[in-house]
Structure 1
């Protein structure tokens, strides 16, 4: 097999491999957050504060519908990385072929559910009346594009499992550029407001999936799949589902916990919703290095687990912790000193800026535990510890659902309890993840023995 679009991570310097692998993903994730921020700035600056709050109010709900597709993509990638590490090329190809059937079915189902259930769920969430119509429009249009999200993420997960983190970056950057251009055309040119922002996002995601597929088939030898490998393989599909479903459930429960917290936020009115939306965007940007390193560690752990190199997996985890600790301290300093300036990038309203700046100062103390979640989750997913994925999701539900109503009703905490809930949830989830790692049960979870 050609080495140009694959990378064996079972040999070589651990830190160098993790950093080189995670950098393209980090750049891609930053670009992705960049165009999310552009969406927010265009809506907040050129449409209205209500429209800005409406887009932000759908974030957790969108993630809920995307999470099933993302979970299955992760499961497929984990299995492929372990077969690749075990040098079993036949089953790498068989798994890629069978992933098409899984993602096609899941993508269509989640698209339909998102469109149908958008308004009922937003009403249950007590979305403020002045923003609910825009929120429904944004939710339905982006849900229509879920199949594009599913396809791109499955392709990206497969390519990364084979050690190629650069190709998904290229098509993600392309999507970002197209998204920004379409934002200006639809919103500023045709005055389509929230509908235009959602449409730009859906189109750009579909284009990135199509481009990534064409490129992979042409350039990556593992995507040139012989006819005998294309048949549906019940055992492989079951294996992908067995790994992917717990990750999907984990993501869904995280989304549900975020929706529960959003319901509490909605009760404080549109200014708090706007501030919460802005701080969520900022925190999504802050955690991109954590997320990129976690995905890199997942691929690293999967390949090395397939090769039987457990000691090397542990070394990767320890080095990753040092990296996230250093970055967390730098982001804590930035949040404490520059919170107001950061908020001013998103909105002009003084009350929203003040609320958001103070909130950022609160959550920044918990960044290191957020990083711990990402790297530990990455390792445990990569080795195939599917059971813990669901436990992880339950812990986040318990944290957000349990802390929020308690903290906001304490007189001297009040509205700040919504952001303190996020921080404390990161803390207990990160701590529980570390305990699972130290127990060592993951060392016997190889999927390709």
Structure 2
């Protein structure tokens, strides 16, 4: 485990040191899902691209429930470690194990049984429906591995160690790429092959993570005992902290599915284009997303240690870097959307359609560069209920209604519908900036 320098020394080097492995992990996670789409795009049909992209969004909507709960664990662990409470740390880990076993089994059954209903709900084109259903069901069978990986990663991030989660996802990514080429490229199993590769890779990654954690148990900042599992209140605390985060991430993904359903009514090409754009977002928003996770852990430990001012300084340091990168991504998506789309497909219609959508969405990257840092800061301070409320307002009061209205306009296009994306991101920025200012005033009043 890496030495934790969150509470002492220079802020920016410590934050960057923690954020880089997170960023690399996000790159690998993006590759992990993006490779499925790229390989299917090269060896399959447009229908297969639509099936994998839409099926992946359905799976992501379930996965964010797990990642949201584990983010709550990361925050609670960070605060407990910052305050030097070892018994509390062990109880939180034990509570996470009990909670996530139940949640993962429930999600597996739900997704397998309702796979076709979920695919029809988002208006998957009929040509892509059988493959989309197959993709969802096969991936759902590996939900227990997704849960276990995220649980272990959440523990390490709470301790200030972002390198170990990177190692876990690196193993999964390598295995997934190899199996994708075998199942899809050689055996031509299309979407089903991509799903089989994903599940197999997740299983291997989980086994390695379990062995790794067992090997370094003497260096962990807590000791698991039977009493750790008997302590009451840990699951309730995880739910109180993690459910708002999970609900926020879940409703964002639901909004993607709703918007995808709206756009799917335009046709197969548009469906594939939006799927590609969503995969690209994971790559293009790497820096803001990594700083969101880094700030959640960094701020949590400093708040636990009573160093709120240091936590705020870390936020501003992250914003400077994140916005600089966001501006470069804005230029790339606005000017070179066709080049980005060609990574996933050689279909000229899909490339042209994706280019138009990316151009209208490009301004989003200027706003999300700051938004993600704000959300990470709020999570670290335990303000997860506000994160949920602002997310609901952004999605259901702005983005979805605006997307629907633009879709219903005469002569509408994918480029016009895409305008809803940056406008909703701007609304989110204004709301979060208002709350940040209010939070800073309240903190200053308490210190006085």
Give TM-score scaled by structure 2 length.
0.94
Correspondence for 1:113: 110
Taking the aligned partners of 2:19 and 2:43, their CA distance within structure 1 comes to 35
CA contact (8 A) 1:160 1:299 kept: yes
Q: How far 1:193 sits from its partner (Å)?
A: 1.7
Q: Deviations over 1:284-330 (max 9, x none)?
A: 11011111111001111000000011111111111111111111111
Q: How far 1:77 sits from its partner (Å)?
A: 1.0
Long gaps (5+) in structure 2: 444-448
Q: How far 1:384 sits from its partner (Å)?
A: 0.8
Alignment partner of 1:34 is 2:31? yes
Correspondence for 1:399: 398
Correspondence for 2:66: 69
Correspondence for 1:225: 223
Q: Secondary structure at the match of 2:64?
A: helix
Identify the range of structure 1 (99-108 vs 225-234) with the bigger mean alpha-carbon deviation.
225-234
Identify the range of structure 1 (222-231 vs 165-174) with the bigger mean alpha-carbon deviation.
222-231
Taking the aligned partners of 1:399 and 1:71, their CA distance within structure 2 comes to 23
Q: Deviations over 1:153-182 (max 9, x none)?
A: 111111011010001101111100000011
Q: 1:192 to 1:61 in 2, by over 3 A?
A: same
Long gaps (5+) in structure 1: 445-449
Correspondence for 1:247: 245
Taking the aligned partners of 1:312 and 1:339, their CA distance within structure 2 comes to 39
Taking the aligned partners of 1:230 and 1:243, their CA distance within structure 2 comes to 19
Q: How far 1:412 sits from its partner (Å)?
A: 6.2
Alignment partner of 1:148 is 2:145? yes
Identify the range of structure 1 (288-297 vs 59-68) with the bigger mean alpha-carbon deviation.
59-68
Taking the aligned partners of 1:331 and 1:64, their CA distance within structure 2 comes to 25
1:87-236 equivalent positions in 2, closer than 5 A: 87-220=84-217, 221-222=219-220, 225-236=223-234
Correspondence for 2:283: 285
Correspondence for 2:446: none
1:81-92 equivalent positions in 2, closer than 5 A: 81-92=78-89
Q: Deviations over 1:334-392 (max 9, x none)?
A: 22332222211111111111111122122112212112221111111111112112203
CA contact (8 A) 1:92 1:222 kept: no
Q: Deviations over 1:29-63 (max 9, x none)?
A: 11221232221111111011110111111233212
Q: Secondary structure at the match of 1:308?
A: coil
Q: Deviations over 1:371-424 (max 9, x none)?
A: 222111111111111211220331223323211111123346533233222222
Taking the aligned partners of 1:199 and 1:113, their CA distance within structure 2 comes to 19
Taking the aligned partners of 1:13 and 1:165, their CA distance within structure 2 comes to 18
Taking the aligned partners of 1:296 and 1:107, their CA distance within structure 2 comes to 25
- Report the number of matched residues: 441
Q: How far 1:191 sits from its partner (Å)?
A: 2.5
1:16-35 equivalent positions in 2, closer than 5 A: 16-35=13-32
Give TM-score scaled by structure 1 length.
0.94
CA RMSD between the two structures: 1.7
Q: How far 1:247 sits from its partner (Å)?
A: 1.1
Q: 1:224 to 1:206 in 2, by over 3 A?
A: farther
CA contact (8 A) 1:57 1:277 kept: yes
Correspondence for 1:352: 350
Q: 1:413 to 1:430 in 2, by over 3 A?
A: farther
Correspondence for 1:426: 425
Q: How far 1:443 sits from its partner (Å)?
A: 6.6
Taking the aligned partners of 2:281 and 2:232, their CA distance within structure 1 comes to 40
